[in-house]
Amino acid sequence: MTKEKQSKRHQATEIIQLFREGRSDEALVLFEKYGFRKEFICFAVTRGIDYEDASDLVQKFIIGKLYMKSDSIEHIEYARTWMYMVFRNMINDQGRVLTKNREVSLDEARDQSYEEASVEKNQTRSDCVQEQLKIFRDKEPKHAEVVDYILKGFDVEEVRLTIGRSYAATRQFMSQCRKKFKPFLERCLEIDE
Amino acid sequence: MKNKDQKILQNWIDTLQGISVRGMDSKVRLEARLLKKAWLEESKKIENKIPDHDPAFYQNIKEALKKKKDKMASKNLWTSFFENKFKAFLVVILGTGVVYASKKTYDGLVSVAEELNHVVLAKDTTKTKAENEIEENGFWDEHFDKHGGFTGFWSRYIPKINERNIPIVEVDNFCSHNATLNFNACLELANQYNSNARFNLGLMYELGVNVDQNYLQAYEWYKKSSALGNEDARSNMEYLIKKGLVY
């Protein structure tokens, strides 16, 4: 377990503990200090929500979930997992409202990115991977979400709790993530660095 | 999953999480590194668009939390009010129950006391008035005269039999024991102002011994006996009234 991962876990636990004790002002200070505001807004933005909506969503998340529902967490050591699970559900609810608008823009984006990926020859490998990651997010949102969790330092148990599957199924799903992203990546491997 | 796949997956996860892995497939390592790099750059780009300080963000939250707190406080007030009301109601119910139970217990005790005080044995009509007085007044009362003056311990040795106006009653008058109570014998003695005979007549009427049971007659005879100073007759009178046998 990396130090960063450990510290993020502890930080989330610390914040939840403060909310539980009714020390919401101190919890908010730590929420900002540990960079959770940016982290959650970023998480929402990568899921296709614009910054303003993402900011509002994080505010709702703090008021409606962290402040009101933090007592419902059974295992405080998995506070970070709980936070992501709840926030992901909020994004999904928000996403349902935005689905129609988003579908149009997604189709456009896909077409554009495919074209760019194939046509733009001056593109660097790094840019290409970023483009493909965006497409991967659009095409395989659930798998992309798990990739996000892995990159954020979640272990298998935490991912399992967040997506609500068994341990074996989670490992299987993680393996699928790698396999599903592979064809997206292969387009970029042709580009010289 | 096969062991090989398991190992590849674990290596891929470790590389994505920044843990160095030895002996890893170079292609998988490249995949993982490229993915991680792209993800980090993407996150960085998004985070750069997010302002470092957003006072409005926390201001909104604090205001909303304050409203929530106020709302919850008022809700708590109502809740506590209703809770207290409910508690008060419970206390009243319990209190009423306790009072009712106490009353029942008290009534029961009184009833037992009444039953105990209720004299159901015929009195000995052969005893002299003085002897009856000693028996009725108790041990200590015999050392005091009727005005309350102390007469000394010797008073108990004064032969009461020598006192005047004491009717001499036959021993076998058939009005002295429960087994031999005779109505006419008792009536005869009762007419001679014998309080014990009157008491026994009352008892006969009350219990229906050798005569038809009649509470009213019993009450009348107890009353007459009581008029002659018989405390047991008074007690039985009260018993008849409290039991609702006479009105």
Q: Which residues of A touch B65 (CB under 8 A)?
A: 24, 63, 67
Higher pLDDT, B171 or B48: B48
Closest CA to A141 of A184, A97, A92: A92
Distance from the A134 Cα atom to the nearest Cα atom in chain B, whole angstroms = 9
pLDDT tens string B96-116: 999 999 988 888 887 787 778
B80 pLDDT above the threshold of 90 = no
Closest CA to A55 of A87, A83, A92, A10: A87
Rounded distance between C-alpha atoms, residue B211 and residue B209, angstroms = 5
What confidence category does residue B202 fall into, taking pLDDT thresholds of 50, 70 and 90? very high
Nearest to A63 among B9, B13, B64 (CB): B64
- Which structural domain, as residue segments, surrounds residue B109? 74-117
Range from A77-91, A158-172, A177-191 carrying the lowest mean pLDDT: A177-191
Please report which helix (H) or strand (E) contains residue B210, including its range.
none
Please state, for a pLDDT cut of 90, what percent of chain B lies above it: 13
B43 and B83 part of one domain: no
Q: How many domains does chain B have?
A: 3
DSSP assignment of B164-199 equals SSPPP--TT-S-SSGGG--HHHHHHHHHTT-HHHHH
Q: How many domains does chain A have?
A: 1
Contact flag B17-A5 (C-beta cutoff 8 Å)? yes
Which three-class secondary structure state does DSSP give residue B138?
Answer: coil
Contact flag A185-B34 (C-beta cutoff 8 Å)? yes
Q: DSSP label at A165?
A: -
CA distances from B187 to A8, B85, B121, B169 (A): 109, 68, 17, 13
Rounded distance between C-alpha atoms, residue B41 and residue A36, angstroms = 18
Closest CA to B223 of B205, B244, B243: B205
Q: Which two tokens stand for residue B20?
A: 């160095």
Beta-bridge mates of residue B150: B144
What's the confidence (pLDDT) of residue B151?
A: 60
B135 and B106 part of one domain: no
What confidence category does residue B219 fall into, taking pLDDT thresholds of 50, 70 and 90? very high
Cβ atoms of residues A135 and A184 within 8 Å = yes
Beta-bridge mates of residue B101: none
Rounded distance between C-alpha atoms, residue B119 and residue A122, angstroms = 126
What confidence category does residue B93 fall into, taking pLDDT thresholds of 50, 70 and 90? very high
Q: Is A95 an 8 Å CB contact of chain B?
A: no
Q: Is A48 left (phi over 0), alpha (psi -120 to 50) or beta?
A: left
Higher pLDDT, A92 or B134: A92
Residue B185 lies in a domain: yes
Range from A137-146, B124-133, B214-223 carrying the lowest mean pLDDT: B124-133
Rounded distance between C-alpha atoms, residue A6 and residue A59, angstroms = 25
Rounded distance between C-alpha atoms, residue A191 and residue B36, angstroms = 18
Cβ atoms of residues B226 and B233 within 8 Å = yes
B133 and B211 part of one domain: yes
Residue B58 lies in a domain: no
Range from A5-19, A104-118, A168-182 carrying the lowest mean pLDDT: A104-118
What's the confidence (pLDDT) of residue A140?
A: 87
| Stretch A101-116: mean pLDDT | 50
Q: Which residues of B touch A45 (CB under 8 A)?
A: 46, 49
Nearest to B19 among A2, A42, A55 (CB): A2
Number of A/B CB contacts below 8 angstroms equals 98
B134 and B99 part of one domain: no
What's the confidence (pLDDT) of residue B162?
A: 42
B11 pLDDT above the threshold of 50 = yes
Range from A33-37, A167-171, B8-12, B84-88 carrying the lowest mean pLDDT: B84-88
Rounded distance between C-alpha atoms, residue A87 and residue A66, angstroms = 10
Contact flag B35-A32 (C-beta cutoff 8 Å)? no
Return phi, psi of residue B192, to 5°: -95, 20
| Stretch B50-74: mean pLDDT | 84
Average pLDDT of chain B?
79
Residue B84 lies in a domain: yes
What's the confidence (pLDDT) of residue B222?
A: 92
A161 pLDDT above the threshold of 60 = yes
Reduce the secondary structure of A106-140 to three states and give it as a string: HHHHHHHHHHHHHHCCCCCHHHHHHHHHHHHHHHC
pLDDT tens string A15-68: 999 988 888 889 989 998 898 998 899 989 888 888 888 888 999 999 888 888
What's the confidence (pLDDT) of residue A153?
A: 87
Q: Which residues of B touch A62 (CB under 8 A)?
A: 61
Rounded distance between C-alpha atoms, residue B62 and residue B39, angstroms = 33
What confidence category does residue B127 fall into, taking pLDDT thresholds of 50, 70 and 90? low
Q: Which two tokens stand for residue B77?
A: 């007030």
What confidence category does residue A100 fall into, taking pLDDT thresholds of 50, 70 and 90? very low
| Stretch A176-180: mean pLDDT | 89
Query: Taking CA atoms, what residue in B is nearest to A177?
Result: B9
Work out the number of other CB atoms within 10 angstroms of the CB of residue A163.
18
Return phi, psi of residue B202, to 5°: -60, -45
What's the confidence (pLDDT) of residue A169?
A: 92
Closest CA to B114 of B247, B205, B238: B238
Cβ atoms of residues B7 and B22 within 8 Å = no
Cβ atoms of residues B193 and B155 within 8 Å = no
Q: Which residues of A touch B41 (CB under 8 A)?
A: 126, 130
pLDDT tens string B156-192: 444 444 443 444 444 456 888 777 788 888 898 888 8
Q: Which residues of A touch B37 (CB under 8 A)?
A: 126, 129
Cβ atoms of residues B136 and B231 within 8 Å = yes
- Which structural domain, as residue segments, surrounds residue A77? 3-189
B142 pLDDT above the threshold of 80 = no
Residue B68 lies in a domain: no
> Which residues are within 8 A (CB) of A192 and not within 5 positions of it... i.e. 6 or more apart?
A125
Higher pLDDT, A132 or B77: A132
